[in-house]
């Protein structure tokens, strides 16, 4: 039973890790994004998400 629990935990952790690696990183602050854009030379996508 303990082995089954451990296997389940490892599977969930792997799923989470895979999901995290497979997601886009979104900065919460514009200045942080700009610093990264200055460093990498990438363009920026700035999203404003608010209640309409």
Torsion of CA 8, 10, 14, 17, to 10 degrees: 120
**What's the min distance (Å) between Cβ of 28 and other proteins?**
7
Nearest C-alpha neighbor of 47 from the set 31, 30, 35: 30
**What's the min distance (Å) between Cβ of 29 and other proteins?**
7
Q: Which is nearer to other proteins, 4 or 47 (CB)?
A: 47
Nearest C-alpha neighbor of 30 from the set 19, 43, 44, 20: 44
- Contact residues toward other proteins (CB under 8 A) are 21-30, 32-34, 36-38, 40-52
Q: Which is nearer to other proteins, 6 or 32 (CB)?
A: 32
């Amino acid at each position: 039973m303990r082995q089954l629990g451990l296997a389940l935990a490892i599977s969930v952790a792997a799923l989470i890790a895979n999901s995290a690696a497979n997601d886009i990183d979104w900065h919460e602050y514009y200045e942080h994004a700009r610093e990264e854009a200055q460093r990498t030379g990438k363009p920026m996508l700035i999203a404003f998400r608010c209640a309409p």
